[in-house]
Amino acid sequence: MSSQAQNHEFQEWWNKQRGFLDKPDSTAFLTVEIRNPTSDPTVDKGHTRSARQLSWLWLLKFQQLATSLAWLTNGSVSLLRTANRRIATNKTDSPSDSSASSRRLYRIIKLFLFLVILLLCFELVAYFKGWHFSPPSVESAEAAVERVYAKWLEIRASYLAPPLQSLTNVCIILFLIQSVDRVVLMLGCFWIKFWKLRPVAAVEYDGSESVEDYPMVLVQIPMCNEREVYQQSIAACCVQDWPKERMLIQVLDDSDELDAQLLIKAEVQKWQQRGVHILYRHRLIRTGYKAGNLKSAMSCDYVKDYEFVAIFDADFQPGPDFLKKTIPHFKGKDDLALVQTRWAFVNKDENLLTRLQNINLSFHFEVEQQVNGVFINFFGFNGTAGVWRIKALEECGGWLERTTVEDMDIAVRAHLCGWKFIYLNDVKCLCELPESYEAYKKQQHRWHSGPMQLFRLCFVDTLRAKVSFGKKANLIFLFFLLRKLILPFYSFTLFCIILPLSMFLPEAELPAWVVCYIPGLMSILNILPAPRSFPFIVPYLLFENTMSVTKFNAMISGLFQLGSSYEWVVTKKLGRSSEADLVAFAERESDPLVETTNLHRSCSESGLDVLNKIETTKKTGKKKRNSLYRKELALALILLTASVRSLLSAQGIHFYFLLFQGISFLVVGLDLIGEQVS
């Protein structure tokens, strides 16, 4: 029965299938139609649309290429016009470049330029003659030119390349030592960050203390012809959250311009009327520059009543709680002489020059100052944004006028007397960076010539000092020799002299890792404290090599007591941070010490009267304009000439480095990197 039921079910299924197949249209699903793809109109339409899109794509690429070419052409034309205009104005170099040492260096660079151009012409003739691929010998040479070239190859290999290779090896060793120093400093900084090491104050001032618990503090603001920034620095010091009877502000004006004197004096009178203890001091004879100004101020009889002195340059704006964050660190530390704070820059994004300066100074404060402060309690005083114990200043001899780096001088002498320093990385003081290359170059010349003056003067005192051998070694070999002398020496010699010469003397080899890889790694380490500046890592590397000529010239001037090493030029600032911004900051961060309605005025009525009186004087003042820098332009031609020679030898890394470094020197020589004055 079961088998019959199964057969019946199978029969019904089979009948259904036969009925479906017997339908007239049932064969439609079995029919397969094969057509030629080209006969399908939809496919033709799709191919046509793709071709049209491809045409538009190529047109778009061509338009982008044309736009890029037009941009490059306009940029080149603008560059040529700017260069022509600046050459026509015939203003070359700054006063520091007019010194005898600078002129001598420029003559040497010109001679070097003539030599490399002559060698390039010689090598071009040899290249087109095929002598690069099969060098001739003196015996087989037929033509006179061929014999000369063969003799040149012998002289080059036997007499010129060996001493150049020896100098190269010395510079490479110095370069590696300096690189190791950078790595050690970075490891020290990572250690501080990992373990969260920072100075801790023994007490804190929260406002509940009596007035007598606050130490007597003297605040000094040295300035000279700085009419753009005097208001903001004076206002920032006057609104300090410190009992006014326990603080005295000295405005030390060394201005030799009458209008600047009147403006500063009017500003001081304004704050005196508001109850602030502030004095105006002006020297008739400006001897000793900033050191002489500070020395004169410290000689006042009332200074003996004060325990600490805070120093701020004219463009610095300490926060209202600056004294409350720094003075407590002296409590219970009788051997502490200095508390240094970090600089913060209000104009670090103003132009390419300020961005590159920010990279350098961020590394200096975040790494160098912090590591030295934590591990050895010594570093160079930055000249401003710091608080000194007056007793320490007096014990080590006070301010001396013997160098242009009086801040480093006083720090070294205090260190040799056994005093300790503290650096506060989390306390920042606003200031400005120089925005023009001329101002920055003058500043760097003073910063690199002064340490060499000081090294000559204090070398014997360092050896005789009653401090440990480790401190003496650190001061002589690391602080002075490695970071102040060796760095500018090898940087200029290696990348501006040896590298282009090695293109014409190929027997003296300069490895690619010295030219590119290690400098690139060091640039990455330098830029870590300012991570937002990573897009500028290549311009930073090139610009540091470009500045080596200025630093080398300054180092030689200071080391051999040449005339320009004693030149002091005030770094001009533009006053980017307005007093209105400062007042708003003061109102947010501290209790008001003066009436808010009075603070909102950018200057007093007497100041406005003075401004009206001197308006005509300012109109007839000296106009600013960009300069041409001869040494940088000559070095640009040297490096570009050497890049052509490296191209003949198919040296890829050397060619690109020389090309871009030459362009960097050209941009700086035409004064196109900083503030542009139309």
Catalytic residues: 254, 407
Listed residue (535, 229, 487) closest to 355, CA to CA:
535
Q: Give strand ranges (E) for 346-419.
A: 386-389
Contact indicator for 603, 270 with CB cutoff of 8 Å: yes
CA 449 to CA 485: how far, in whole Å? Answer: 10
- Looking at the chain, how many residues does it have? 678
Neighbours of 676 (CB within 10 A): 12
CA 571 to CA 593: how far, in whole Å? Answer: 32
Listed residue (266, 265, 267, 272) closest to 248, CA to CA:
272
Listed residue (207, 219, 442) closest to 317, CA to CA:
219
CA 121 to CA 645: how far, in whole Å? Answer: 10
CA 377 to CA 383: how far, in whole Å? Answer: 17
How many helices (H) and strands (E) the chain has is answered by 25, 7
Contact indicator for 320, 590 with CB cutoff of 8 Å: yes
For tokens 């005339």, the residue is 563
Listed residue (270, 269, 271, 277) closest to 246, CA to CA:
277
Tokens of 237: 């010091």
Contact indicator for 355, 348 with CB cutoff of 8 Å: yes
Tokens of 45: 């339409």
For tokens 């790694």, the residue is 521
Query: Please, what is the Cα angle at 352 between 349 and 354, to 5 degrees?
Result: 55
Amino acid in the structure at residue 111: L
Edge-to-edge order in the sheet of strand 386-389: 278-282, 247-253, 217-223, 308-311, 386-389, 336-345, 420-431
CA 490 to CA 485: how far, in whole Å? Answer: 9
